[in-house]
């Protein structure tokens, strides 16, 4: 399970990482703005989010995440007694809050519960116009017609549809598709994009090239 932990208190972050790392793949970020960027470009199955963060507070990070249509479970961490923070967090779309100091046993139980919920949400398709992508089954459809896509094309479509109507950087695509043994170049991305574009031609969605920068998946 990929978990993003956003917490600027190094001692707390360290103890949470220590608890989660044997079981999950945990990414730690301490800055709100960078967490926002990471969330707009990467996929996580659970987000553990502190409210008071440098550059952008947790409730804003959460608000932006929900605005992008993400339903990834979010657990907010708030200082005990800070009722406003808690209400603000839940209002912005958090699934649960945990008071600081964090009780690690309670946190573990919560993680399990939220991950279970997240798994059932993964079966709800992400839609753009009449194009849909199902994360769990890794299938794409135009209305009821299943698209015959390669693994690479599916990977690209997933990244694009999660950032629908927004520019997806070419470098980011290269980075996300590259593997330790196989580096994906700009040219290769261009080839995959060409094939993917043809295959989604039957939909009301298109991939627009932003010269020298990247691609935008958008409705026609």
Interface positions with Ca ion (CB under 5 A)? 8, 50, 52
The three-class DSSP label of residue 63 is helix
Residue 179 DSSP one-character state: B
- Closer residue to Ca ion (CB): 55 or 218: 55
Q: From the CB of 30, what's the least distance to Ca ion, in Å? A: 9
- Closer residue to Ca ion (CB): 83 or 151: 83
Q: From the CB of 52, what's the least distance to Ca ion, in Å? A: 4
> What is the separation of C-alpha 76 from the centre of its chain, rounded to a whole number of angstroms?
16
- Using CA atoms, how far apart are residues 32 and 53, in angstroms rounded to an integer? 6
Q: From the CB of 111, what's the least distance to Ca ion, in Å? A: 20
- Closer residue to Ca ion (CB): 58 or 73: 58
Residue 147 DSSP one-character state: P
Radius of gyration of the chain (CA): 19
- Closer residue to Ca ion (CB): 53 or 217: 53
Q: From the CB of 122, what's the least distance to Ca ion, in Å? A: 30
- Using CA atoms, how far apart are residues 159 and 135, in angstroms rounded to an integer? 11
């Amino acid at each position: 399970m990929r978990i993003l932990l956003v917490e600027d208190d190094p001692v707390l972050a360290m103890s949470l990482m220590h608890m989660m790392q044997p079981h999950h793949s945990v990414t730690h970020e301490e800055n709100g703005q960078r967490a926002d960027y990471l969330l707009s470009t990467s996929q996580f199955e659970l987000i553990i989010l502190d409210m008071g963060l440098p550059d952008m507070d947790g409730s804003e990070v959460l608000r932006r995440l929900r605005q992008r249509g993400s339903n990834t479970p979010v657990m907010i961490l708030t200082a005990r007694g800070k009722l406003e923070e808690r209400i603000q967090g839940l209002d912005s779309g958090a699934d649960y809050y945990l008071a600081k100091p964090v009780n690690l046993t309670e946190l573990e139980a919560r993680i399990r519960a939220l991950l279970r919920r997240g798994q059932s949400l993964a079966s709800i398709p992400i839609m753009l116009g009449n194009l849909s992508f199902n994360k769990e089954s890794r299938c794409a459809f135009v209305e009821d017609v299943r698209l015959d896509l390669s693994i690479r094309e599916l990977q690209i479509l997933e990244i694009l549809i999660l950032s629908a109507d927004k520019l997806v950087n070419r470098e980011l695509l290269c980075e996300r598709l590259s593997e330790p043994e196989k580096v994906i170049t700009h040219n290769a991305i261009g080839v995959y994009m060409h094939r993917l574009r043809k295959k989604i031609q039957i939909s009301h969605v298109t991939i627009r090239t932003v010269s020298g920068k990247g691609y935008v998946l958008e409705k026609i």
